[in-house]
Amino acid sequence: MIINLEALSPGMQLLTADEVVAFEDVDGSENRIACHAELTVRNADEAIYIHAVLKGVFKTPCHMCLEPAEYLVEPSFDLVVKKTRLGSETHPAGEDEDLIYVSAKDRELSLDQQVYENLIASMPMRITCRDDCKGLCPGCGANLNIEPCRCESENEATREPQRKPGDVKRK
C-alpha cells in the first residue's frame, strides 16, 4: 500500500485501498489474503499520524479435517511518520516499530511491510472449519465430522482374537 505524500493535504483525511497480501504458509505453500484498508491520516507539520484498519478473509483448508475454512482477519495499527529535513536528524534503526522517518524529498510512503506484519500477526496458528471440528481419524482417515471412525470395523476382519494375559499360543 503506497501513500502519495505530495497529495496529502494538511489536517485529517480518510484513505481507502484494496490490497492482496501474499505470504508463505508453514508448509511452504503460497497464500493470499484480499483485504480492504481504511486509513485515517492526520497530516501535521512535524509528522503524519496514521490509524489503519484492515479487513480480509483468509481461505484455507481446515487444519483438523482439511475441509474448506475461512477466517476473518481484522487487525488495526497506528503509525507515526516523522518528517525530517535532509541530513538534519539521525534515525536509530529499529528503535521503534511504530515510527517511520521520511525526508523532505520523499514523495511516497510504502505501508506494505506494516500491512503484511499486522495481517500475519492477527491470524491464529490453527484455523478450523468450525469451533467443534473433530478432525480426521489418524487410523482410517475418516472425517469425524461426517462419518464415524472405521478403524474398529476394518480391524475386526483381519485381527486375531484378543488373548487374556497368561494365555499361551499353542501350535
Q: Indicate whether 120 and 146 sit together in one domain.
A: no
44 and 74 both lie in a single domain: yes
Residues 110 and 142 in one domain: no
Claim: this prediction has a pTM higher than 0.85: no
Q: For residue 140, give its domain range.
A: 134-171
Q: Are residues 69 and 111 in the same domain?
A: yes
- Same domain for 66 and 9, yes or no, is yes
Strand-pair partners of 15 = 39
pLDDT at 88 over 50: no
Q: Is 111 found in the same domain as 171?
A: no
Do residue 13 and residue 57 come from a single domain? yes
Do 20 and 66 reside in the same domain of the chain? Answer: yes
CA angle 138, 26, 58 (to 5 degrees): 95
Residues 89, 66: one domain?
yes
Nearest alpha-carbon partner for 82 in 40, 112, 50: 50
Domain count, the chain: 2
Assess whether 128 and 138 both reside in one domain: no
- Same domain? For 48 and 126 the reply is yes
Residues 143 and 114 in one domain: no
CA–CA separation, 15 and 51 (whole Å): 10
pLDDT value of position 1? 85
* Residue-wise pLDDT tens digits, 14-69: 999 998 988 887 677 788 899 999 999 999 988 999 999 999 999 989 999 999 99
